[in-house]
Amino acid sequence: MLKDITFGQYVEADSIIHKLDPRIKILLLIAYIVFIFIVNNLFSIAFASVFILAVTILSKVPVKLFAKNIKAILPIIIFTAILNALYVGQGALVIHFWVINIYEGGIYRAVFMSLRIILLIIISALLTYTSTPTALTDAIESLLSPLQYIGLKNAVHIMALMMTIALRFIPTLIEETDKIMSSQKARGASLDSGSFKQKVKALLPVLIPLLSASIRRAYELADAMESRCYNGGEGRVRMKQMTLTLKDYIAIIVSVVFFAALIILNTFAV
C-alpha cells in the first residue's frame, strides 16, 4: 500500500544527539564534512571513523539503518575504490595481472577514499535520523535569517514556510492518492498492467483528481491561514523557541577538540 511509504528518515529515540539544537547539528555537519575532506592520511581518517562511530552509537539509532544507507551507494564506493587502486602508481607493485598493475599506494588510496565516502554518508544520515523534517526547516530558516539584511527580507521565511507545508502535505496527498486509486479501480481502471504507454495513460484518472484536490487544499489552507491573521514572517514568534543549552555547548566543545586532534594527527602522523 502507498500508505506504508514513510517520508523523512527521522527515528524516534531518546538520545543526546536528538536533543541537540538542529541549527548546531547542521553547522557541525558542515564542519565535519570540511574536516573529513581536509585530512589526507589513513591514520587521521581511522581516528575520525572511531569518533564518528562513537557518536553514532550515542544517537541510539539502529546501526542497520546506517548499513542500509551505505548499501545504497555501495556501487559508487566500489567504483571509486577500483578507480583509485588502478590509477595510483606509487609504492611497490602488489598485483600484476595482464595489463592490470596495482601498487601499494593504490590500495592505500582506495581504502582511504572508501572510508571518506562512508563517513560522509554516516554523518549526513545522522542529521536526518535525529532531527524531524520540521526541525530542519526551522533550523534552515534561522540559519539563513541574516539574508534579510541584504534585501531578501521575506524570502527566507517564505522558502521555509513552503518547505514546511510541502513536508506537512506529503502524507495527506499519499492518502488522497490511495483513495483516488481505489475509486478508479472500483470503476475497472487497471493501474498496474499493460505497456509503458498504457500505464502512463492509465495514470491520468488518478493524476487529474489529485491535482484538483491539491489546488483545492491550497486554497483552503490559504483561507485558514488568513482567517488566523497570517501576514508573513515579520513579527512572528515561535511556539518552540530554539535556544542553545548546555548540551549544545558541550557538543561544540567536543567537536572542536576532535577537529584539533584531527589536524594534529594529520600534520604529524606519517
Q: CB-wise, 1 or 92, nearer to other proteins?
A: 1
The minimum distance between CB 213 and other proteins, in angstroms, equals 6
Q: Does 189 bind other proteins (CB under 8 A)?
A: yes
Enumerate the β-bridge partners of residue 95.
102
* Residue 2 within binding range of other proteins, rule CB under 8 A: no
- 116 Cβ partners below 8 Å, 6+ apart? 36, 37, 45
Q: Would you count residue 180 as binding other proteins (CB under 8 A)?
A: yes
Of 180 and 262, the one with the shorter C-beta distance to other proteins is 180
Beta bridge partners of 185: none
Question: Is residue 156 near other proteins by the rule CB under 8 A?
Answer: no
Q: How many chain residues touch other proteins (CB under 8 A)? A: 22
The nearer residue to other proteins, 96 or 168, going by C-beta atoms, is 168
Taking CB under 8 A as the binding criterion, the range among 36-44, 137-145, 180-188, 246-254 that sits at the site for other proteins is 180-188
User: Which segment (54-62, 70-78, 177-185, 258-266) binds other proteins by CB under 8 A?
Assistant: 177-185
* Residue 3 binds other proteins, judged by CB under 8 A: yes
Q: H or E segment at 97?
A: strand 93-97
Site for other proteins in 195-224 (CB under 8 A): 204-205, 208-209, 212-213
Nearest-approach distance from CB 175 to other proteins, in angstroms: 12
Q: Does 190 bind other proteins (CB under 8 A)?
A: yes
The answer to whether 186 contacts other proteins (rule: CB under 8 A) is yes
**236 forms part of the interface with other proteins (CB under 8 A):** no
Q: Is 129 in the site for other proteins (CB under 8 A)?
A: no
Q: What distance in Å separates the CA atoms of residue 217 and residue 133, rounded to the nearest whole number?
A: 21
Which burial class, exposed, middle or buried, applies to 239 when counting CB atoms under 10 A from its CB (0-12, 13-18, 19+)? exposed
Distances, alpha carbon 95 to alpha carbons 77, 78, 102, 195, 256, in Å: 21, 18, 5, 49, 41
Piece of the chain touching other proteins by CB under 8 A; list 34-42, 75-83, 91-99, 188-196: 188-196
- The Cβ of residue 221 has, within 10 Å, a number of other Cβ atoms equal to 13
| Ordered alpha helix ranges (H), 99-150 | 104-130, 133-144
Contact partners, residue 66, CB within 8 Å, separation at least 6: 56, 121, 122, 125
Q: Nine-digit cell at 74? A: 555501495
Residue 105 interacts with other proteins (CB under 8 A)?
Answer: no
CA 148 to chain centre: 26
Q: d(Cα 58, Cα 12) in Å, to the nearest integer?
A: 14
Lookup: cell for 164: 514546511
Q: Which residues bind other proteins (CB under 8 A)?
A: 1, 3-6, 179-180, 182-190, 204-205, 208-209, 212-213
